[in-house]
Amino acid sequence: MKETNTRKINWIKSVIVSFFTFMSLSAVSATVTLPNIPATQFLITSYGASTSSLDNSSYINSAITAANSAGGGTVVIPAGTFLSGPITMKSNVNLYISAGAILQMMPYGSGNGSPAGSYPNNGTTDSYANLIFGSGLSNIEVSGSGTIEGNGNAWWAAYTANNNISRPYLIRFKACNTVLITGITLQNSPNVHVCLGQSGSSYGSNGTISNITVIAPSTSPNTDAIDTWYWNGINIINCNLSEGDDNVAMDSYSTNINIKKCTFGNGHGVSVGSYATNVKYITVDSCTFDGTTNGIRLKSELGRGGADSSFVYSNITMKNVKYPFYITSWYPKEPYPASAQVAGTVTSTTPSWNNITFQNMTITNSTYGGIIYGLPEMYVNNVIFDNVQLSASSGLVTNFVSGMVFKNCSSITVSSGNAIIPYAATITGINTTSGVSTSCTTSGIAEIKSDSKLTCYPNPLVGDNFTVSSDIGISKIKIYSLTGVEIKEQNGNESTLVLVNFSGIKDGYYIVNVKLNNGLNSSLKLVKE
């Protein structure tokens, strides 16, 4: 049986389209397209699902099959708690989890799919299919404002006792094209919460993950929020991620990944690797890290890396992060002293980290400045710190690094010891002992460090327009050169989102001063390239 509610679905889609139109102002990749799902609804309770059932997977799968057979549609999980085993997605289907709905994984049983009511295995003890899975599909969504609950506690305990257990993910799509996961909350996954891709030779493309919340205890094993593999083109936008492992992990053959306006709590940070072959064109912008173990983490080891390049991290705030920067070719543990390490033979899978830019970052109360540790046969190459202010208890370790440049007043402040502890590293633009910038142009006005609620994007600016965003109405915007000369003034009209035309202005560094409706002033640097 099917039901239609075209008006409701079209409204939902218009909200999503409006959201992404707004985000396009933020330089989110225009090449990532969104699904277009027919509006016809297929309610799972019309196919036999109920809140009293111990396993609704057959009913949900029947609704998905019906939607696919009809040329596409939205499979609706209504309010209530619905237990389920593995769900197989099909093309042109949106699995919509309504407000008040909980799609709950059946509990871990005794390792073999028993007793009745426990999550079924794959025919092999302690081997399990993912909760929501699809392979080789196109035009698919998982959306809504409901929750997917993973019942992870028993799985984590079983894994701690026997780490050979193959635990399921909540969502995994392999080699799919045009995927949207939006709005939902995912929590307590037995393993990773969301994964686009899978190790292998088949690529996925056009993925969007927006406005999701991921929650799991900081002690939960391997509960990455989002993983990517073998995928070209993913936008991760406005997500709040806090769990027990990597907040985001981009593994081999992840390319053109844009992460924007996300908040990271518990977790191991925004990572690449440890399988890190051909990871390229990664952008992380306008994000906040609070209490993560690592902030930005690039990790690999011999046999797992190679040809990794073009990483840009900009407009980022970190506080209480143990290691704000962690780049290593020695995962999982670095050897010391660095001077005792002997160069090996370079192969196609030797870890190689190239062309990394950190721009417009404020980092406070870190335990360590960080670690950047290449190989004697393959240095970490071309690392730029541009307008980065780092405050930590101890300094930044840099081993086997070439072309590390600090510019635009980038500095490191430490409680004790040297700001940078280098070995076989070429570093310019900073005093490695004091951490004071040696490449700072004195400005005619003081920069006021803004909090994460005031942003200026895209930054750096390539083109003629940028947007100033604030949670408080904007009264006026003034733009100055670094010598204090006013370049431009514009009224904010009490809007929280102001588009500024910057055409005819030469490339360089500028200070954007914002007067808010509450009378306060704040400012930040803008780079025009």
pLDDT digit string (tens) for 4-33? 443 343 333 333 333 332 333 333 444 799
What's the angle, vertex CA 525, arms to CA 519 and CA 529, rounded to 5?
140
Q: Break the chain into its structural domains and give their ranges.
A: 454-528
Q: What is the DSSP letter of 44?
A: G
State the Cα–Cα distance between residues 336 and 371, nearest whole angstrom. 12
Residues of the chain above pLDDT 70, percent: 91
Find out whether 246 and 275 touch, Cβ atoms under 8 Å.
Answer: no
Read off the pLDDT band of 156 (50, 70, 90).
Answer: very high
Rg, Å, the chain Cα set: 24
Tell me the mean pLDDT in the region 182-190.
Answer: 98
pLDDT in tens, 408-432: 999 999 999 999 999 999 999 999 9
pLDDT in tens, 73-102: 999 999 999 999 999 999 999 999 999 999
Read off the pLDDT band of 351 (50, 70, 90).
Answer: very high
Give the three-class secondary structure for 285: strand
Read off the pLDDT band of 486 (50, 70, 90).
Answer: confident
Encoded tokens for 314: 């900009």
What local confidence, expressed as pLDDT, does residue 172 receive? 98
What's the angle, vertex CA 223, arms to CA 221 and CA 227, rounded to 5?
135
pLDDT in tens, 209-239: 999 999 999 999 999 999 999 999 999 999 9
User: Strand (E) positions, 347-464?
Assistant: 353-373, 380-407, 411-414, 420-428, 454-457
Q: Which residue has the tokens 């300094």?
A: 395
Q: Is the backbone of residue 117 left (phi > 0), alpha (psi -120 to 50) or beta? A: left
What local confidence, expressed as pLDDT, does residue 473 receive? 87
Residue 131 Cα to chain centre, angstroms? 22
Tell me the mean pLDDT in the region 507-518.
Answer: 83
Mean pLDDT of the chain: 90
Tell me the mean pLDDT in the region 393-404.
Answer: 98
Q: Which of 201, 206, 156 shows the shortest CA–CA distance to 179? A: 206
State the Cα–Cα distance between residues 43 and 66, nearest whole angstrom. 11
| Alpha-carbon separation of residue 377 from 275, 302, 381, 400, 426 (angstroms) | 19, 11, 12, 9, 15
pLDDT higher than threshold 60 for residue 390: yes
Q: What is the pTM of this model?
A: 0.83
Which neighbouring-strand residues pair with 241? 214, 264
Q: How many C-beta atoms lie closer than 10 Å to residue 336's C-beta? A: 12
- Supply the CATH classification number for the domain 454-528: 2.60.40.1220
